[in-house]
Amino acid sequence: MGVEEEAAVLSVLRSGWISQGPKVAEFERQFAAYVGTPHAIALSSCTTALHLAMLLAGIKEGDEVLCPSLSFIATANAIRYVGAAPVFVDIDPGTYNIDPNRVEEAITPRTRAILAVHQVGMPAAMNELGEIADRRGLVLMEDAACASGSKYMAERVGHPHSLLACFSFHPRKVLVTGEGGMITTADEQIAARAKRLRQHAMSVSDLARHSSSKIVSESYDEVGFNFRMTDMQAALGLVQLQRLPGFLERRRARAAKYTAALGQLPFFVPPGEPEGCVSNFQSYMVRMLENAPITRDDLMQALLDRGISTRRGVMPIHRERPYADPCWDARLPETNRAADRTIILPLFDQMTDEDQDYVLDAILGVCRR
Ligand SMILES: *Cc1c(COP(=O)(O)O)cnc(C)c1O
């Protein structure tokens, strides 16, 4: 966050309109143009976006939705919010995303949808998933929380590769508004309903009422929510969207440097981009093989002792209490392996060459000992 973001928020504070209003509308327009979709609907978070996505897709009690377990727990929670059940599908160990080859065996008569996740910004295999969804009559949706700026087959994630995609602007992601989310879709009716449902299903928006020269009264035609973004957040988003190309360039350069250095060692597997996929490297997640001279957790501790903070790779949802069921372990071997063997290395916009050299020297030193 820089001086431009500060000025943008200040101007909203002085404008007299701080809740969802003109800045939200402008952020939606510019985000839609950036990803190349006709409609974008700003929301309070990706979690509320995913919850709304389930309702918009007609997912309901008793339905099953296929998704990866190797994801943030919000992916599965959104499915539960509407009374449906997440059915976890194993990942492709190369991309850490849902493996299209394992999808069909998980389909039952109750299956209604596939929720693909672009994990840590790496695009999922949307073409293969789309083919299965079409053939089996399922809805395809995207949890694109981490994927602002990522590309799939020369198009930005959020360009319609499915019915709808849900983004997050939490500080842990690449484009940041504090809290915030977005749904992108090509479907006009879905977009219109999403805009109503985020605002208690109000038939006329408060902005439209306030700007009208005639008396306008609204009605509430279904049960809606307060999933609104504020104009202060949207003002941040508008500045961050301008800066996004720079964020992407720097993140990708840092990722390339990690990959070049760690790829030299026979026990690290750096993240690889499949043909046609461009990651925003929201996180740099690397796999440690069994022949590594140190365990993942010991490496994390040794780095922490040198003042370097790392994280375990993405933790699977099926190990958390609300989703724990003994059936999953046998069905998710690659998910379990990835969870036990991956580490997320420091990668942030203001990281300097010196910072990264310090991290790499520490890793190489610890592994050589
Ligand atoms: C961060 C994240 C979410 C939740 O996003 P919020 O904006 O914090 O609600 C959902 N899914 C995935 C994969 C995420 O990484």
Atom of ligand 1 nearest to the CA of 47: 9
Interacting residues of 44 by C-beta distance below 8 A, sequence separation 6+: 179, 180, 181, 198, 226, 227, 228, 229
Ligand 1 pocket mutation, candidates 44, 67, 69, 72, criterion most atoms within 8 A of CB:
72
> How many angstroms separate the alpha carbon of residue 205 from the centre of ligand 1?
27
How many Å apart are CA 287 and CA 62, to the nearest integer? Answer: 37
> How many angstroms separate the alpha carbon of residue 54 from the centre of ligand 1?
15
Q: What angle do CA 269, 339, 303 make, to 5 degrees?
A: 65
* Residue extent(s) of CATH 3.90.1150.10 domains in the chain: 244-368
Nearest CA to ligand 1 atom 5: 46
How many Å apart are CA 73 and CA 204, to the nearest integer? Answer: 34
Q: CA–CA distance from 322 to each of 10, 77, 232, 325 (Å)?
A: 42, 9, 35, 9
Nearest CA to ligand 1 atom 6: 46
Task: List, chain by chain if needed, residues with CB within 6 Å of any ligand 1 atom.
Answer: 45-47, 71-72, 74-75, 117, 143, 145-146, 168, 170, 172, 181
DSSP codes joined into one string, 12-58? HHHHT--SSSHHHHHHHHHHHHHHT-SEEEEES-HHHHHHHHHHHTT
Interacting residues of 219 by C-beta distance below 8 A, sequence separation 6+: 202, 203
Integer-rounded Cα radius of gyration of the chain: 21
Atom of ligand 1 nearest to the CA of 146: 15
Ligand 1 pocket mutation, candidates 43, 45, 46, 236, criterion most atoms within 8 A of CB:
46
User: The domain 244-368 belongs to what CATH superfamily?
Assistant: Aspartate Aminotransferase, domain 1 (3.90.1150.10)
* Residue extent(s) of CATH 3.40.640.10 domains in the chain: 3-241
> CATH topology for 3-241?
Aspartate Aminotransferase; domain 2 (3.40.640)
Nearest CA to ligand 1 atom 1: 145
Ligand 1 pocket mutation, candidates 88, 146, 177, criterion most atoms within 8 A of CB:
146
Atom of ligand 1 nearest to the CA of 48: 9
> How many angstroms separate the alpha carbon of residue 216 from the centre of ligand 1?
37
> How many residues are present in the chain?
369
Instruction: Return the H-helix or E-strand segment holding 140.
Output: strand 139-143
Q: In this structure, are residues 72 and 145 in contact, taking their beta carbons and an 8 Å threshold? A: yes
Catalytic (active-site) positions: 173
DSSP codes joined into one string, 180-196? -EEEEES-HHHHHHHHH
The amino acid sitting at 266 is: P
Atom of ligand 1 nearest to the CA of 50: 10
Tens-digit pLDDT string for the chain (369 aa) = 999 999 999 999 999 999 999 999 999 999 999 999 999 999 999 999 999 999 999 999 999 999 999 999 999 999 999 999 999 999 999 999 999 999 999 999 999 999 999 999 999 999 999 999 999 999 999 999 999 999 999 999 999 999 999 999 999 999 999 999 999 999 999 999 999 999 999 998 888 888 888 988 889 999 999 999 999 999 999 999 999 999 999 999 999 999 999 999 999 999 999 999 999 999 999 999 999 999 999 999 999 999 999 999 999 999 999 999 999 999 999 999 999 999 999 999 999 999 999 999 999 999 987
